[in-house]
Structure formats: C-alpha cells, structure tokens
Structure 1
Amino acid sequence: MANNDSRFAVLIDADNISNRYIKLIMDEISKEGIATYKRIYGDWTNPSLISWKTTLVENSLLPIQQYSYTTGKNSTDSAMIIDAMDILYSGSVDGFCLVSSDSDFTRLAARLRESGMTVVGMGESKTPNSFIAACSSFKYLDLLSNADEEELEEPQKPAAKKKPAAQKKTPQKPAKAKEEPKEEPKTSLGTIRNALRSIVRENSDEDDWIFTGKVGNLLSKRYPDFDVRNFGFSKLTPFLDSLDMFEIRTERKDNAGPSLVYVRLK
C-alpha cells in the first residue's frame, strides 16, 4: 500500500506532453503521495505551448523557462535533469514523477532509483521501453484517458419508434466507419498471462493458493507499465477472473474487515 505521506517531485516535459492530461497526472500521483514540487519545463516563448497557460494557473504549476539554443536540440531535457538532481540532493522528497514520452530520461530514472527514490513515469504509448523499464511504475496517459472517457459516456436512450412511411425507400448500405488503430500497452496480455502462471506457481502456498495483493505487487515489479485499467478493468480480481486461468476464493476474517481474495491455477 502506498504511503499517502510520501513527498513527490512532479517534473513535466511540456515539449512531449499535452495539457489535456494534467488532471489525470495529478490524480494519479495523489494515489502515491503528496506533490510538493510541481514544475513544468519548456520554451514558453514558443507559440505551441500557449495552450498550457490556463492549466499552469489552475494547477499551481511552476513554469521553468528553457530557451531552445539550437535547432533540433531539446534543451528542456537538460534543465529538467539538473533540477531533478538538485531536488534529490536536497533530501526533501521520497520520490519523483517524471512526465514525458522521451527516452532521454531513462538514465535519470535509473539514477534516482539507485538513490532509493520511487520513480513514477507517465507518458503516452509511444514511450520507449527503456524509459518504462527504468521506472518503478509507469502510467500510459493516453490509455488511462481513453478509459476515463468511456466510463463517463452515458448510454444513449433508444430512439422512439416511428410509423412506417407510406412510400418505400430504397435501403442504402451504411458506409463503413474507418476504425482508428487503438493504442495498446507495450506489455501485451499474452506476456501478462505467462508471467501470472510463473508467479503463482513459484509463490503459492502448499495448497497452491496465493493472495491477489501479492500477485499484483510481483507483477508490477516485473512489468512497471502493468495496470489493469490498460485492459479495461478497474480492479485486479475481475481482471484475473476474466483470464479464465484461476480458481478464486474469498475470505473474510471478521465482519468489519475487508475480504481477502486468493487465487490458484485451474
């Protein structure tokens, strides 16, 4: 369970992240702890970043100006890395949230973890595997954003039945809508299934049962980008049940306490 008193430095690369994700970013880090530093880096003289203006004020983000000295080079990365190391040596935080889809932060994430920091990475599905693997955990902002939007959509009411028209009209074949390719997490469902088999076999008790909380922790350590929401679920148990791999057992120690859920391979 995350310590809600943990202090995090949230560092955002404005050159690689859209402002539409800001609420999701802050909501996700609030599950880990408290954001004591909230800084965002970019060349604010660039018109492409004007959309961030209102977002900065509403979310109390501190904009850090970094001019692009050379065409084709991202000076923002260097400023963000230098600040991260300064904050690390200040000893004032317990972890970092690095928000970018850029592989240039791979070494920074690894270095912060070497110093005992929890590193939560956030970016889009295009984020390179090297950066994802360097983080303690990684959140796909585009996948989580799409999942939230689907939950908010209300089912449409059925249209009222109309009386048949007097004249028959020649039915027209509906045009096929072009389906946009759906973004998927780097770690596929097949990979998750194989990992779950080995985790349960290696860590279950004498009767082959294992606590689902332990399963989730071990799986997240192997694959930092694992999140049941990437696969359309809000809780781990329904996700495990959907795989048709496990028997599920629920126990309640007392009437007031939460239920404990265990699984074993079929």
Structure 2
Amino acid sequence: MRDEKKYALMIDAENVSSKYIEIVTKEAQTLGNVTIRRIYGDWTASAKNSWKDSLLENSLSPIQQYSYTVGKNSSDSAMIIDAMDILYTNDVDGFIIVSSDSDFTKLAMRLRESGKQVVGMGESKTPKPFVRACEQFKTLDVLYKNHHPEQKVNAPERFRKQEIRCVPTERALPREQPKDAQPITNLHAIKETVISLLDENSDEDGWMYLSELGNMIQKLYSDFDCRNYGFHKFGKLIESFPELQTRKDDSSNGITKIVLVRRRED
C-alpha cells in the first residue's frame, strides 16, 4: 500500500480571512497528511483576533511577524524563508500555500522545480501568475459561497419604515472591480477545451477515460474545480454538456466501474 503523502500547510493571515479556515483545513486533509501547519501574521494587531480561536482548534502554529511598515505584508518573507527551510530539511511531498498575494509566485515555481507539489488557496481576486504557478488552486470565496449560501436578512424595523428616495440617473454605472480581480476560468472555455482534448486523445471510436480527461483539464487550468460551477463530481459536469455522452464499463476486477466520455453522435 502506498504511503500517504505529507504536506506543509502555510497560511498568510495578512491576506486571508479567518472565515475560510474550515474550508482550508478540509481541503488540505483531502490531499494527505498535513504534518506542518503554520500561520503567519502580526498577532499583536487587533485585526488578528478573529484568527486566535481557530489556532488551537486546527493545530496551527502561529508565527509572529511584526508589521514595521504600514500597508506592507510582513508575512511574505517569513513564509518564503520557512518554505525553503522545509524544502531542504523536512521530508514533505508538497506545500499548501494559502494567500491571495502574487508575491508567492516565484516561491511556487521554485518548489515545483524541486519536484514538490504546490497547491494554492486564495480568493478569486488572486492574480493569475500565482494561480498558474500552482499545480492546483482552490478558490476559497467560491467554495465558501457553496458551503454557506447567502441568507436573506430582514432590514431593521426603523429602516423598513423609512421612505427611501432614489435620484434617477440616465443609466446605472457598473460596480468597479478590484484591478487585480481574476475570475475563475469560464465554463465555456472549459467545455471547448474538453471537446478539443477528446478530438486529440480519444480512441478510434471516439471514447476517452473520464479520469484521464479530468487530469488533463486540471493540468491546463490549475484553478479548475468542478464545485466552482455547482457540481460535486467531474462526471456530472461533463454530463451537463449536451455535446457529450458518457458510458460505464466494468473494470477488470468486476467491482468498480470505468467511466468513458465522447462526443455525442448526431
């Protein structure tokens, strides 16, 4: 039996909200054995109080980094130095870097050059260079929304009784997006890539293993996660495309099923 892979979890508390901790730890545990769990930030700042209850509950080791300069993330250099120390002194198979900061792009590239798997986690605003530098990237705000659907909140009574007057304008102005916002890969682009991969890699009858197709998509789009599009399994996402069809065959052991996919015949 193959040994479980070991990972180092490194969280940038300056750049990630504590509300994501449940998703972060759950996603990390699905990868393997998280032997190193560190979280970096200025713990003397009141803004970090929301994290403190989560430290013991999730066995996170807080690393103190004082903010000597206003507006400058103090955790970046400490995380990078520690990651390189872990690379050379600890037996880990991969790193899980939790941040929405592009400053970790070069680190992710360097770790992968050394043969380590790098899984990134951050919000959808994370710059593309860091997303693409990771082998996989989990979009935390999308996963959080799937786990915590927004609930309708009734306005307080004093506000409901007030008459609200709006000054009409010629047209509504679009809400300005952060300049570094990077939405997840468009589903149409995923579908077009799937069809292209099928054309290039299917057998003479047009069939291709679903698992092989999924691996190729993950390598092409590090931020790909079928849950981003409302599906819990890759097969369900594929079945939602009217251009494609799937079939299930018995495996050699006669117990499990092998799923194949191809273009739907006219």
- TM-score grouping bracket, smaller chain normalisation: 0.7 to 0.9
- CA offset at residue 116 of structure 1? 0.3
Partner of 2:185: 187
Partner of 1:27: 26
Superimposed CA distance per residue, residues 92-136 of structure 1 (whole angstroms, 9 cap, x where no aligned partner):
211000000011100000000000000000001111100000000
Change (3 A) 1:87 1:255: closer
Task: Give me the TM-score of the superposition, normalised by structure 2.
Answer: 0.84
Residues 137 and 225 in structure 1, CA contact (< 8 A), matched pair in contact too: yes
Partner AA of 2:24 in structure 1:
I
Partner AA of 1:140 in structure 2:
T
Unaligned runs of 5+ in 2: 152-174
- CA offset at residue 72 of structure 1? 2.4
Residues 38 and 60 in structure 1, CA contact (< 8 A), matched pair in contact too: yes
- CA offset at residue 191 of structure 1? 1.1
- CA offset at residue 245 of structure 1? 1.7
C-alpha distance in 2 between matches for 1:109 and 1:245:
37
Superimposed CA distance per residue, residues 65-86 of structure 1 (whole angstroms, 9 cap, x where no aligned partner):
0011122222210001000000
Residues 29 and 35 in structure 1, CA contact (< 8 A), matched pair in contact too: yes
Residues 128 and 182 in structure 2, CA contact (< 8 A), matched pair in contact too: no
Partner of 1:53: 52
Partner AA of 1:44 in structure 2:
W
Change (3 A) 1:129 1:260: same
| Secondary structure in 1 matching 2:148 | helix
Partner of 2:205: 207
Q: What's the Cα RMSD here?
A: 2.2
- CA offset at residue 64 of structure 1? 0.2
Partner AA of 1:231 in structure 2:
Y
C-alpha distance in 2 between matches for 1:257 and 1:245:
29
Superimposed CA distance per residue, residues 35-70 of structure 1 (whole angstroms, 9 cap, x where no aligned partner):
100000000111100111110011110000001112
1:18 aligns with 2:23: no
Partner AA of 2:7 in structure 1:
F
**For 1:226, which of 219, 224, 228 is the aligned residue?**
224
C-alpha distance in 1 between matches for 2:3 and 2:23:
17
| Secondary structure in 1 matching 2:66 | coil
C-alpha distance in 1 between matches for 2:144 and 2:102:
22
1:106 aligns with 2:119: no
Change (3 A) 1:10 1:44: same
Residues 4 and 34 in structure 1, CA contact (< 8 A), matched pair in contact too: no
Structure 1 residues 15-164: aligned runs within 5 Å: 15-150=14-149
- CA offset at residue 30 of structure 1? 1.2
Residues 4 and 31 in structure 1, CA contact (< 8 A), matched pair in contact too: no
Give 4+ residue runs of structure 1 displaced > 3 Å after superposition: 253-256
C-alpha distance in 1 between matches for 2:27 and 2:183:
17
| Secondary structure in 2 matching 1:31 | helix
Percentage of pairs with the same residue: 50
C-alpha distance in 2 between matches for 1:72 and 1:253:
57
Unaligned runs of 5+ in 1: 154-179
| Secondary structure in 1 matching 2:31 | coil
- CA offset at residue 149 of structure 1? 2.4
